[in-house]
Structure 1
Amino acid sequence: MPRRREPRSPADSSRPRQPSRTTWRDRIGALGRRCLRLPSRRQWQVGALIAAGAVGAIAVLSLIWPEDDKAFQARPEVTPATLADKPRRPVTVLVIGLDADKLGDATNKAAPAGPANADALLLVRVQPEGPLQVLNLPTELAVRLPGQKQPVALGSLYRRGGVALTADAVRELTGLQPPSPDRYVVLPRAALRQLVNGIGGLEIDPPRTMRYQDKAQKLTIDLQGGLQRLGGAQVEQLVRYRDRLLGETDRRNNQQRFQIALRDRLRQNEPLTALPGVLKELEGQVETNLTPLEALSLMAAGLDDQRPIAFASLPLDPPKPAHGKLRQLSSKAPNPVWPEKKG
């Protein structure tokens, strides 16, 4: 049986139903109103919690994630000109290279055995504008001390009276006026090795094979000729080597090779950058009245000048049997024996 329809009420019969029409303009308007509707308070709270969590996660990651390797970060290039301010006047430094391994050693473990002697003596003149000057002083030079009849070797004065007696004799010998030498540096062998190793070794060209052995000193020298990179122990062998025929003159030539190589090496960026740290490590191993800033200032002036080192030496008379291995200063030596060279 067909379903019975309910009759319309009078109100429905009097107002006919209008069909629902939604145009595309109405739909876009509704979508825009929903998009522009401000979030509720509950939505703001949820968003704030999410943002706080993200910030916290980033903070934690920044603590556990490694920083960029500093080796890959750009560093300003260090040059002699930027190392430190140059001195405003010429400065003369007395350098004493000891034959002992460390300062204060009871014995030098060398020949002649006993307290430390000066195995190398240098006067270094650093000028703001002039060339770097180095005077190699012969340790075998005969000097006569007040109240003594027999002369003694210049290199033995450190054993007898330390820096003060050595500086007095050098001042009288060269004609320097007080307070020159202005500064001094006493460098034992262990400090020499550490200096060379700290800057990565030196490129040196020994002129020939050098071999020598002394069991009493526990000294072995074994170097090949030719250009090569030498470490601290090998450089020590070089500056200690003395040819049997050429004697102390040959040793001073080897020390001069070391000085040239040291200056050339320190002009390179990597060892020059490491220099302040190397000098810091040498504190307590050398005896000096130079402050760290003064040392860097002298280094800056000596390295920045592009001219070769102006080496000088004292002319000596041939050895005399009466004086043994000691040598006398030649009567033909210039006066002054070490004139200042201007720029």
Structure 2
Amino acid sequence: MEKSRTARNKNKKRNFISIFFLIVLGLSLIFFAYGYNILRGFSRDSIQPKKVKFSDPVNILILGVDAGDYNNKSQNNPKRSDTMLLIRYVPKNDKVFMLSIPRDTRVNINGHAAKINSAHAVGGPKTAIEAVEKLLGIEINYYVRIDYEGFRKCIDAIGGIDVIIPRNMDYDANDIHIHFKKGEKIHLDGKGAEAFVRWRKNNDGSGYEMGDLGRQETQQEFILKIIEKLKTPSGIIRFPLLMNTVSKYIKTNLEPEDILIYALKLKNIDVSKIERKMLQGEPQYIGGVSYFIYNGEKNVEYLKNFRGGISTDKVEIDRSDIKVTVLNAAGESGLASKYKDELIKMGYKIVETGNYPRKINTSMIRDYSLKDYGHIVQRDLNFGNVIKMKENSGESEVVVILGRDSVK
């Protein structure tokens, strides 16, 4: 009798779980249709995405910017990107990679040295995307831009986030007021979440040991909390409200159906297995300005995770049409000849090999073509930063300058 009662209880429990998940699934389908109708009203972005199939890896650049419209160039409306986060999603195994780019990273914008966070202020998302692509030698498929107000609204839309405070936070200035004790478990609404992810130091000067890099790590961890929340039943129920908020406060070149399909893939992602890194480099003063100097050699291995996507809007290229020069800047005897042979086997036409006048650590791929040949060579070699050139290089369309990272 007791065994029979236990079996009935187990069956009831299984039935309850099955019914619960059927309800959640049904609600998800309803919310998908509802969310799509909301997002159909999304204003389309003029920046053309580098589209991929949903089964292919995708790179998405997240831009957290100052409030305002970058077309307004007034002093009180700078629109710099306070946060730049590159995300790689691989549908085949539901792997996710994150890479935070320090806002003080030194880059070249319109021929002038500048901090990468100013790229958005200069030319909006398009210039920010170009700056990241040139710096890292990767291809960005889509971007998502959100300002502080949009961030607050999105966090409120999903019902807030629970966090454990990593250290004492005590700061009051302008629009940020934060007073948290280390180890406290706090439920953050939109306003509290904004203060939490923007905090860098206390009024007494104490703060993250790694400075802004510490803040970026906190931001990455907070994004993991958001993903965890969206996978819960309460997160699913709030999905329509989130989509409504997204349509009002976020700018992107993702299509509405893209947003919904990628959002639904969140359920497959194991948050504990998401890989996270900060861009590697060193702080340095140049001309009295504090910069973060990118170290290509230290980032080579991790950046391989962000390469290899296949764009569906590109036809197969006949590599015999691509004329390449290979120059040795690694100081390793015979290196140019070695890569010449490899590129010939791949089908490329080699114009010339030789030595570069100085040694470099990170390989460069100078693209003089009008057809983005540099990124094709980069994907085949799986290393090197692509630099789009304006002047003519003579017969070669691509010049590969081999740095120390090319030595196997």
TM category (shorter chain) comes to: 0.5 to 0.7
Distance 2:131 2:119 in 1: 8
Correspondence for 2:180: 223
Contact 2:170/2:178 (CA < 8 Å) preserved in 1?
Answer: yes
Provide, for residues 10-62 of structure 1, a one-character-per-residue CA deviation record: whole Å limited to 9, x for no partner: xxxxxxxxxxxxxxxxxxxxxxxxxxxxxxxxxxxxxxxxxxxxxxxxxxxxx
From 161, 166, 171, the counterpart of 1:207: 166
2:280 aligned partner, one-letter code: P
From 136, 142, 148, the counterpart of 1:189: 148
Mapped pair 1:77 → 2:77: no
C-alpha spacing 1:143/1:335, structure 2 compared with 1 (3 Å): same
* Shift in Å, 1:300: 2.4
Distance 1:74 1:318 in 2: 50
Write the mapping of 1:6-85 to structure 2, written as runs, cut at 5 A: 76-78=23-25
* Shift in Å, 1:171: 0.8
Write the mapping of 1:265-276 to structure 2, written as runs, cut at 5 A: 265-276=229-240
Q: Which runs of 5+ in 1 are unaligned?
A: 1-72
1:91 aligned partner, one-letter code: V
Contact 1:319/1:325 (CA < 8 Å) preserved in 2?
Answer: yes
From 304, 318, 323, the counterpart of 1:339: 304
Distance 1:80 1:313 in 2: 37
Distance 2:275 2:260 in 1: 20
Contact 2:88/2:98 (CA < 8 Å) preserved in 1?
Answer: yes
* Shift in Å, 1:221: 2.4
With normalisation by structure 1, the TM-score equals 0.67
Mapped pair 1:327 → 2:292: yes
User: Aligned residue pairs: how many?
Assistant: 258
From 162, 175, 183, the counterpart of 2:137: 175
* Shift in Å, 1:123: 1.0
Distance 1:105 1:209 in 2: 38
2:300 aligned partner, one-letter code: N
Secondary structure of the equivalent of 2:283?
A: coil
Q: Which runs of 5+ in 2 are unaligned?
A: 1-19, 33-52, 202-206, 309-408
Mapped pair 1:310 → 2:310: no
C-alpha spacing 1:79/1:336, structure 2 compared with 1 (3 Å): farther
Secondary structure of the equivalent of 1:319?
A: strand
Distance 2:130 2:144 in 1: 15
> Bigger CA drift: 281-290 or 183-192?
281-290
Correspondence for 2:86: 123
Mapped pair 1:99 → 2:66: yes
Distance 2:168 2:73 in 1: 30
* Shift in Å, 1:310: 1.1
Provide, for residues 295-335 of structure 1, a one-character-per-residue CA deviation record: whole Å limited to 9, x for no partner: 12112224412252111221111323645321101253232
* Shift in Å, 1:113: 5.0
Distance 2:21 2:296 in 1: 59
C-alpha spacing 1:268/1:193, structure 2 compared with 1 (3 Å): same
Mapped pair 1:154 → 2:121: no
1:297 aligned partner, one-letter code: I
* Shift in Å, 1:132: 1.3
Distance 1:81 1:314 in 2: 37
Contact 1:201/1:230 (CA < 8 Å) preserved in 2?
Answer: yes
Correspondence for 1:237: 195
C-alpha spacing 1:268/1:204, structure 2 compared with 1 (3 Å): same
Distance 1:294 1:79 in 2: 20
Cα RMSD of the aligned pairs, angstroms, is: 3.0
* Shift in Å, 1:228: 2.0
Mapped pair 1:198 → 2:157: yes
Distance 1:80 1:141 in 2: 44
* Shift in Å, 1:249: 1.1
* Shift in Å, 1:81: 9.4
Contact 2:63/2:83 (CA < 8 Å) preserved in 1?
Answer: yes
C-alpha spacing 1:80/1:205, structure 2 compared with 1 (3 Å): farther
Mapped pair 1:281 → 2:245: yes
2:80 aligned partner, one-letter code: N
Identity between Structure 1 and Structure 2 (%): 22
Greater gyration radius: 1
Distance 1:251 1:159 in 2: 22
Contact 2:106/2:114 (CA < 8 Å) preserved in 1?
Answer: yes
Distance 1:123 1:335 in 2: 15
